[in-house]
Structure 1
Amino acid sequence: MPATKNAFERHKVLDRCFRDRSKRYFMDDLIDIVNKDTYYYYGTEVSDRTIRKDISYMMDSEGYSAPIKKGMVGHKAYYYYSDPDFSIMNMPLTQEDMGRLEEMIRMLGRLKGLPNYLWIEETLTRLEDTFHLGERPYGIVAFDHNPYLRGMKHFEPLMDAIMNQKVLYVYYYKYRKTTKKREIHPYQLRQFNNRWFLIGMEPDMADKLPLVNLPLDRIDKFEKAKDVVYQTYQGMNFDEYFGQVVGVSVNIKAKKEKVVLKVGYPDAEYMISKPMHSSQKIIEQNENYVLIEMSLILNYEFETALLGFMNNCQIVEPKSLRNKIRNRAEEIVKNCK
């Protein structure tokens, strides 16, 4: 079984100790050194038992087949490599490692086509050539990606503006409306439903909306605003902020509402396996239906997602959501006549 990242970090520290011929490393020494090296990153300390398991793993053929020997000083044992030139860092990749590396390369390949990721394409090419990868014409893992999405040309310069904290004048247009110049203090590029959004603060809207979202496909162009001081974000953690909704549209004046859905099979199984929101929970389940409850701020994205289940779903509460879905369904019926 492959070592976890935490375990591998410990193995590297132990490897360094076992190669060192200037000192004898007893168990207490190894525990102390490993804790000093890894506590900063992982916030946990290791025990005598953990180090002994690490040593056994390193010696095992499924680990590194490390030539670890045990010397004695009285009743105390110290550990070292019988071959001082051995190091786990010089171990060749196994066939299993090669398979994982190949799939990771293919997963990174998902980023091909995104601006500013040409270095990934170059790195992938070098790795494929070096390790003779890429013979398989398909990947084990595939991601949904739309290479024709409008506005992706803005991705790289927007990312640079965020990293360098530059205020932007964004020329943004709505469908059937003229382009509007907007001052934006950019904070994040966020993806939802295979669409990218620029998240930022707009001074003219800050009193009503702390964060605005601009779809990249609606951005005509933008330029850096000179002599405008960048305002850093001081609000709620982004994941918590957007975790209140489905999608990226947050009405800060609205409060979370309890939503109860009565979902029949097989849609219930799908909704259980792929929750619509992080707050989703089952409050009743039988052979005919499932009652699902969630707490969130209602928005258009949630309504749209919910419409996909409405042929086999009843909105128990709230009534306001039921009315909105009914109105949208009536419009659908009109358009289908």
Structure 2
Amino acid sequence: SYTFPIAPYCLKMFQKRWYVFALSINEDRLRIYGLDRFENIEITKDHFKFPSDFNAKDYFSSFFGVVIDEDIPLQRIVVRAFGAHQHYMRSLPLHLSQKELYSCNEYADLELTLRPTYDFIMELQSYGTMIEVVEPQSLRQIMKCCISDLCRLYEAPMMK
């Protein structure tokens, strides 16, 4: 463990864990820290100027969760939810930007606008065959590679 100063901007809950979004003073960049990893917190007498234009809801609106990668461009993503899972996706949207484009008995196409970060891709994978990424092709390819890697893992004999 080590000690470092931060200038906290906000708290965020994601996947039943609390995170603090803060300016890392030593690195001079915004970072997110899992509060469950902190051993001790000390409030110092040092002050910082909170940016008057910072709005947590706006900042996080282009991200799925707590993986913050501004190098990943904002994208239009279309996900197809099959069978009864379309009702689940309606009642518990993946993201605030989610809109329904089309639905029938077999499936529903849902549009999201966000940056497809690692945590979003992991969430998509957790739905298995209940969903399919329709667009963009680049995200379909990422999903395909992840699925291929998973298949190879289970095709190989288990190491003891």
TM > 0.5 fold call? yes
1:93-148, Cα deviation, whole Å (9 max, x unpaired): xxxxxxxxxxxxxxxxxxxxxxxxxxxxxxxxxxxxxxxxxxxxxxxxxxxxxxxx
- Do structure 1's residue 242 and structure 2's residue 64 form an aligned pair? no
Letter in 1 for 2:8: P
- Do structure 1's residue 305 and structure 2's residue 123 form an aligned pair? yes
Q: Secondary structure at the match of 2:96?
A: coil
For residues 95-134 of structure 1, the aligned pairs below 5 Å read none
**Match in the other structure for 1:202:** 24
Unaligned runs of 5+ in 1: 1-178
Q: Distance in 2 between matches of 1:231 and 1:328?
A: 43
Determine if contact 2:72/2:117 at 8 Å carries over to the other structure: no
What is the aligned counterpart of 1:192 among 5, 8, 14? 14
Determine if contact 2:18/2:34 at 8 Å carries over to the other structure: yes
1:236-259, Cα deviation, whole Å (9 max, x unpaired): 310111122111222223331000
Evaluate the alpha carbon distance shift between residue 336 and residue 260 of structure 1 in structure 2; reply closer, same or farther with a 3 A threshold.
Answer: same
**Match in the other structure for 2:37:** 218
1:222-280, Cα deviation, whole Å (9 max, x unpaired): 44456x43232344310111122111222223331000112211111111111101111
Number of matched pairs = 155
Q: Offset at 1:281?
A: 0.8
Q: Distance in 2 between matches of 1:180 and 1:318?
A: 41
1:193-216, Cα deviation, whole Å (9 max, x unpaired): 10111121113444xx4x311001
Determine if contact 2:10/2:56 at 8 Å carries over to the other structure: no
Q: Distance in 2 between matches of 1:268 and 1:247?
A: 21
Q: Offset at 1:180?
A: 4.5
Q: Distance in 2 between matches of 1:255 and 1:234?
A: 25
Q: Distance in 1 between matches of 2:59 and 2:65?
A: 11
- Do structure 1's residue 284 and structure 2's residue 102 form an aligned pair? yes
Instruction: Output the aligned Cα RMSD.
Output: 2.2
Unaligned runs of 5+ in 2: 156-160
Determine if contact 1:258/1:295 at 8 Å carries over to the other structure: yes
Give the TM-score of the pair, scaled to structure 1: 0.42
Q: Secondary structure at the match of 1:190?
A: strand
Q: Distance in 2 between matches of 1:202 and 1:238?
A: 17
Evaluate the alpha carbon distance shift between residue 220 and residue 282 of structure 1 in structure 2; reply closer, same or farther with a 3 A threshold.
Answer: same
Determine if contact 1:258/1:293 at 8 Å carries over to the other structure: yes
Q: Secondary structure at the match of 1:185?
A: strand
Determine if contact 1:267/1:309 at 8 Å carries over to the other structure: no
Evaluate the alpha carbon distance shift between residue 181 and residue 331 of structure 1 in structure 2; reply closer, same or farther with a 3 A threshold.
Answer: farther
Q: Which has the higher helix share?
A: 1
Evaluate the alpha carbon distance shift between residue 314 and residue 214 of structure 1 in structure 2; reply closer, same or farther with a 3 A threshold.
Answer: same
Give the TM-score of the pair, scaled to structure 2: 0.82
Q: Which has the higher strand share?
A: 2
Determine if contact 1:244/1:250 at 8 Å carries over to the other structure: no
